[in-house]
Chain A
C-alpha cells in the first residue's frame, strides 16, 4: 500500500483527543426531572469522582470514523486491482452493409448498438470502454470510463452502416493499442458473421465474438455496368443474386436518365445468380436498375451507374496554321476544338485546354496548356535552337505518359533549347536537350513540346495522334468512376482551376471542400444514392458531375452468418511479462465508510434520545 500524502496520518492524532473527550464525557447523564422534592429524600451515597473511560458503542464509532478519515487524508493506494472489479473493454461493432439487414427485433446494427449500450451501462468504477467501428476501414469512435457513459452512449447512437467490408484487423490493432496496458482487457466483437471467418491468431487479447443475426434470404444487384457501343447504342449488364434457399420470382425495372425504360419478370434459383443484358438505343447518361427483392436488406436491391464516357474538353488552338494537329485533336471524340490566330487570342475562362503553336501567351492561362515550339523570350527560358536527331531518351517521369509510343526514326529538325524551370519536368530527351516537358504552374497544367511540327516528321507518324491524345487527356483531370460501392474511398483530383468543391449527398446535405491546385482529396461516401459534385473556380462553375453510390457487392449481400459466437482467450500473458496494474485509490471508499459510520452514529443517538425525551 502506498500513501500519496503521508502527512495526512497526522489526523490520527485525533484518536487520543477523542479518547480524552470521551473520558471527559463520562460525566453523569443529565436528566431533567419535574422536581427534586422526592429525590432529596433518597439517602445519597457520595458520587464517584474518578473519571474512567467507558468503552461505549459511541466511542467505538467515533474512533472508527476518525481512523478512516485520517487514512483517507493520507490517500492510500493499493498496487493491485480489485478482484474482477476493473475491466477495459473494446467493443468492435461491425458496420458493414450486411448489418443493415432487418430481422425480428430490429436491424442487426440496432441490436449491436443495444448490446453495446448494455455493456456501457454495466460499467462500474474505473472500468473503461473503447468503441471501435469495423467498417471498410476501422475507426476509433470514442473511449472513456464509467463517468463518460452519457458521451459514450451518444457516440454509440452515431454509429451507422459504413459500407462494404469489415476491417477487422484494423479494429483489433486499435483495440490492442488502447488495451494492452489496461487491467482486465477484453475485446467484444459484435458482428453478423456475414464475412469469411477471420484468422484470430494474431489477436493477443481475450476475444468474445457475439454473432448477431440468423440465416436470412437476400436478393441483391451485385453488378451493374453500362457502356456506349460503336453504333451509338448503350450496352447494359447486370448481375443479380439470390442468397436464400427458396427460388425468387420478381421483377426488375430499368430506368434510363430517370425515365422508366422497361420492366421485366425474372426468376432466380436458390443460391444462384442471374445475368441480364440489354442494348439500349441511343446515348444515355445514367442507368438505374431496381428489383423488388422483398427482403430485409433493401439497400442492395437497386443500383445506379453512369454511362462510361469521356468528359468533354473545350480546346482552343492558337496557331496560324497547324492542320495536322487540328486533325489529331478533332479525331478525339471528347474534344470541342476552336481555332484562333495568335493575334486574335484572348484568354477565356470557358476553355479547358489552350494549345499554342509557335507562340506563347503573355501569362499562363488557367487550365490545360500545350505549348509547341515556343518562340524565344516570354514565359519560357529559351537559349536558342539546335538540331535534334534520333535517338531519344524517356525519363522515368515520361514512362507513364509516353510508354509504348514509338519515337524511333523521327527527325525532330530544329528544336528550341529550353533550360527547364523547376516546375517543368522533362519527359523526353534528345541527348541533353529536352523535347517534351510537363509541369504545373499555379493553376495551369502545362506541357511543352520544344520541336517544330512542320520541321519534324512526327506529324507524319502514327505516334503523333497518340501523343496528342495522351497529352490532352493528361492535361485534363481524370474521369470519375461510373459508380462507387458504399464504403470505398475515392482519391478525387479536381480540375486544376478549381478552388473549392461542393459535394451534395443523397440526403441533400452539401459539404464545401477547399482544394489546393492538383492535390487530390479523399471522398468517402456514407450514403446510398447519387452524389452531386460541383467544382468551382471562385464563383465560376468549372465542372459538374454525378457519382452514384451503390450498396450491392458479392461479398456483402450474402447475410448468412458463417461462424458462431465464441470466446477465445488471448495470449496477453505471454506478451506482457510484467503487467503494470493501475494503483487503486482507496480514499473515496474510506470517505464513504466514514459517512456511513456517521449516519449510523446519528441513528444510534436518535434511538438513545427518544426514550430520554419520554
Chain B
C-alpha cells in the first residue's frame, strides 16, 4: 500500500505542536480516606490455603487450643492445662483439651499486566491495573499478609515478598513507577510465584488478557486448592464495541502487526460476537480450573463500582 506521507506528516506536525501537554505530576493513586476505608476490607481466601498460624487474619483449617472452642481432643503431655475442659472431665472422666479456630496469613501474589496494550484507549487500563494492585496490596499488607507484585516483563518481583503495613508506602511508590513493557508472560510469572511460595497462597492476575492465555499451564503451576487464583479481566467498551468504520489499517499496539480491513456493520457484528465468545470462553476455562474470574470495565469508578463488584463476587470481604 502506498502511504500519503504529506497528510500524515501534516497531521503529526499539528498534533505535535498544538497537542495538550500532559500534566507534569501524576495524580495520586488513592486518597487517604479511601485507604482508610480499604482497611476495613480483606481478601476472601479459602480455608484450604496454607499460611502461618496466628500471624494473619484469614480463616484456616487448623485448630489449636483456645478459650473459644469448637471441638475437643484428648489431652497429651505438654498441653497447656489452661485449655483443659474440666466440665467434660467431670462428665466423662477424660481429660479433653478445648480446640478453637486458628487465623492465618496467606501469601498474596499480584501479577500485573504492563504490556503496551494496557495503555491503548481511554481511560488508561494500566492505571486502573496499578490502582487495583495498590488496593489489593495495601489491604493485604494491612492484614499481615505476605505480598509479592510481579509484572509481565520481569522475572524478579518488583515488590516483595514483604509483610507489614509500613511497607505500603514503598509498594505504592513502586507501583507509580511502573511503565509499559513488552508482552506479558503469565506462565513465567506463575512459575516464579510457585517457586517463591511453595506452600501456596492467593494469586491475583490483573490483565486485559489480550494474549493467548495459557490457562491450563497457569493451573499447572498454581493448582487449586493450594493456590487460589483470581483473574481480574480489564475490559474497555471500545474493545467490545469499537467505534470504527470504513477502510482501516489496524495496528497491534504490542507487536506492531498490521491488518487491513474494510469494516462494515456486518464485520462489526461478527467482531462483537467474537469478543463476547472470547470473554465467555475465558470465564469458562477459568471456572474449569478452579480460578475465579471477574470482568471489570475500565470506565467503572474504582471505589463506587469496582470494589462493590469485587465484594459481590466474593473476591473481597
Contacts and interface: CB of A to CB of B under 8 A. Distances in A.
Please indicate whether A and B come from the same complex rather than being unrelated chains: yes
B230 to A, nearest CB: 22
Main secondary structure of the interface of A (DSSP, over half): mixed
B206 to A, nearest CB: 15
Interface in B1-52: 1-4, 6-8, 10-11, 14-15, 18
B105 interface: no
B117 A25 contact: no
B3 A45 contact: no
B242 A35 contact: no
Interface in B229-287: 236, 238-239, 242-244, 246-255, 257, 259-262, 267, 270-271, 274-275, 278
Interface stretch (B69-77, B189-197, B208-216): B208-216
Task: Indicate the member of A26, A27, A28, A44 with the most B CB atoms within 10 Å.
Answer: A28
B156 interface: no
B308 interface: no
B121 interface: yes
A282 interface: no
B120 interface: yes
Interface string B292-313: 0000000000000000000000
A34 B262 contact: no
B7 A609 contact: no
Interface in A34-48: 34-45, 47-48
Interface residues of A, number: 35
Contacts of B271: 38-39, 41-42
B93 interface: no
Interface string A1-31: 0000000000000000000011011111111
A327 B312 CA distance: 143
Contacts of B249: 27-31
B253 A32 contact: yes
Given A21-B6, A24-B4, A606 B14 contact: yes
A398 B317 CA distance: 136
A35 B270 contact: no
B267 A42 contact: yes
Contacts of B7: 21-22, 25, 58
A602 B19 CA distance: 12
Contacts of A26: 4
B198 to A, nearest CB: 33
B274 A42 contact: yes
A21 to B, nearest CB: 5
Contacts of B10: 605
Contact of B121 (A25, A51, A614): A614
A32 B121 CA distance: 9
Interface residues of B, number: 49
Given A21-B7, A609-B11, A44 B261 contact: yes
Nearest to A609: B15
Nearest to B245: A29
A606 B18 contact: yes
A39 B252 CA distance: 10
Contacts of B208: 34-35
A33 interface: yes
A36 B252 contact: yes
B247 A28 contact: yes
B215 to A, nearest CB: 15
Given A21-B4, A606-B14, A28 B248 contact: yes
A147 to B, nearest CB: 32
A26 B117 CA distance: 27
Contacts of A33: 120, 242, 250-253
A611 interface: yes
Given A33-B120, A38-B271, A47-B260, A602 B14 contact: yes
Contacts of B242: 33
A58 B14 CA distance: 14
Contacts of A42: 261, 267, 270-271, 274
B253 to A, nearest CB: 5
Contacts of B278: 37-38, 41
A198 B274 CA distance: 97
Nearest to B116: A34
Given A29-B247, A606-B14, A606-B18, A35 B267 contact: no
A28 B120 contact: no
Interface in A525-542: none
A33 B270 CA distance: 17
Nearest to B246: A29
Interface string B119-149: 0111001000000000000000000000000
Contacts of A47: 247, 260-262
A605 B248 CA distance: 18
A24 B3 contact: yes
A584 to B, nearest CB: 33
19 contacts: A24-B2, A27-B3, A29-B246, A30-B8, A30-B249, A31-B250, A32-B251, A33-B242, A33-B252, A34-B117, A37-B211, A38-B271, A38-B275, A41-B271, A41-B278, A43-B267, A47-B261, A609-B15, A614-B121
Nearest 3 Cβ contacts at the A-B interface: A25-B4, A35-B210, A34-B117
Interface of B: 1-4, 6-8, 10-11, 14-15, 18, 117-118, 120-122, 125, 208, 210-212, 236, 238-239, 242-244, 246-255, 257, 259-262, 267, 270-271, 274-275, 278
Given A33-B242, A33-B253, A34-B253, 14 more contacts: A21-B4, A22-B7, A28-B247, A30-B8, A30-B249, A34-B208, A34-B254, A35-B210, A36-B250, A36-B255, A38-B239, A44-B267, A47-B262, A614-B122
